[in-house]
Amino acid sequence: MSSGGFHVHGPHDHAIEHATQGHSDHDEGGGASTNRIAMFTAILATVGAIFSYMGGATQANAGLFKNNAALEKAQASNQWNYFQSKSTKQSLAELARDLAPESKKDKYGEKIDRYEKEKKEIQKDAEKHEAISKDWDKQSDEQMHQHHRWAQATTVLQVAIALAAIALLTRRKWLERAMYGVAFAGVVIGALAAVHV
């Protein structure tokens, strides 16, 4: 602060001057290293948040797909129950035909043929629902596998962030290198999740 040609330092001026000159003379580039780690940590936190979101989304999808599989399985079960009731009616019609006088056998024969035709349609529908259910189950399992990959990637990035904090506090170069290595591993696992591996 200047007044009439006189320069008076404010309480923070010395700190600002010291910061602008940098701390490169301390800890082999400690200021630059600190800034680099801080920036890297912010990037890791952002990537970790994205991975976490993707993990949550895939888990929700897995639950939704499993629910769809259960609904299709219930439909298939209903169709198989309907098939069974038609089989029972067909068996009763066959018994009635065998016990009926010759003049009524054709009437029961027509019913038997109709039940056989209906059973084939019902069976086809039940098998279709079972196939759809298996497909939903498969998709659910794939989403859960992907969810686990996203969760692993997020956890590894959190470990890298913790290493960054320790590296900043201790100013240990090996911890900084470990942070970069662990972060790289987390990004690789996230990439595997993205491509469904």
**Which residues contact residue 59 at a Cβ distance below 8 angstroms, ignoring those fewer than 6 apart?**
143, 144, 147
Q: How far apart are CA 196 and CA 147, in angstroms?
A: 10
Is 152 part of a structural domain of the chain? yes
pLDDT at 171: 86
Task: Look at the alpha carbons of 122, 124, 125, 129 in this order and tell me if their dihedral is positive or negative.
Answer: positive
Integer Rg of the chain from CA: 36
Residue 158 lies in a domain: yes
What pLDDT shows up at residue 30? 59
- The answer as to whether 125 is a domain residue is yes
> What's the pLDDT score for residue 16?
42
Looking at residue 170, what is its pLDDT? 87
In 3D space, the residue among 81, 30, 7, 46 whose CA is nearest the CA of residue 186 turns out to be 46
Assigned domain for 19 exists: no
Q: Are 161 and 48 in contact (CB under 8 A)?
A: yes
pTM of the model: 0.68
Residue 147 covered by a domain: yes
Please choose, from the candidates 73, 186, 87, 86, the residue with its C-alpha nearest in 3D space to the C-alpha of residue 140. Answer: 73
On whether residue 21 sits in a domain, the answer given is no
For position 106, what pLDDT does the model report? 87
Which domain covers residue 131, as residue numbers?
29-194
Residue 188's contacts (CB-CB under 8 Å, 6 or more residues apart) are: none
Compute how many other C-beta atoms are within 10 angstroms of the C-beta atom of residue 78.
14
Alpha helix (H) ranges present in the chain? 13-21, 30-99, 105-170, 173-194
Are β-strands 2-3 and 6-7 bridged in parallel, bridged antiparallel, or unpaired?
antiparallel
Q: Can you give the pLDDT at residue 20?
A: 44
Q: Distance (Å, rounded) from C-alpha 150 to C-alpha 158?
A: 12
List the one residue out of 125, 127, 132 whose CA is nearest residue 72: 132
- The count of structural domains within the chain is 1
14 belongs to a structural domain: no
d(Cα 6, Cα 113) in Å, to the nearest integer? 113
Q: Which residues, given as ranges, of the chain have pLDDT below 50?
A: 1-2, 6, 8-16, 18-20, 22-27
Q: Is 103 a member of any domain?
A: yes
Residue 103 is predicted with a pLDDT of 85
